[in-house]
Homo-oligomer: A and B are copies of this chain.
Amino acid sequence: MSVDVSSALGVFDSGVGGLTVVRALRELLPNESIIYLGDTARVPYGSKSPDTIRRFATEDTQFLLNRQVKAVVVACNTATAHALPDLQRSFRVPIIGVVEPGVEATLEASDCERVGIIGTAGTIRSCAYQHAIAMRRPDVRVEAIATPLLVPFIEEGWLDHPALKSVLREYLKPMLAKGIDTLVLGCTHYPLLVPMLKRLLGGKVRLVDSASTCAAHTKRCLEEHCLLRTSRTKPTLEIHLTDYSEQFENLAHRFLGADFGKIKKAQL
Residues of A within 8 A of B (CB): 40-43, 47-49, 52, 121, 148-149, 151-153, 155-156, 158, 161-164, 166-167, 170, 243-245, 247
Contact = CB atoms under 8 A, between A and B. Distances in A.
A57 to B, nearest CB: 13
Contacts of A163: 149, 163-164, 166-167, 170
A151 B156 CA distance: 13
A148 to B, nearest CB: 6
A52 B148 contact: no
Contacts of A155: 47, 148
Nearest to A165: B163
Contact of A166 (B48, B151, B166): B166
Which 7 pairs of residues, A with B, have the shortest CB-CB distance? A163-B166, A152-B152, A49-B245, A52-B243, A163-B163, A163-B167, A42-B42
Contact of A49 (B149, B153, B243): B243
A42 B151 CA distance: 17
A97 to B, nearest CB: 21
A249 to B, nearest CB: 11
A153 B153 CA distance: 10
A175 to B, nearest CB: 17
A156 B166 contact: no
B47 A245 contact: yes
A156 B161 contact: no
Contact of A121 (B41, B167, B247): B247
A25 to B, nearest CB: 26
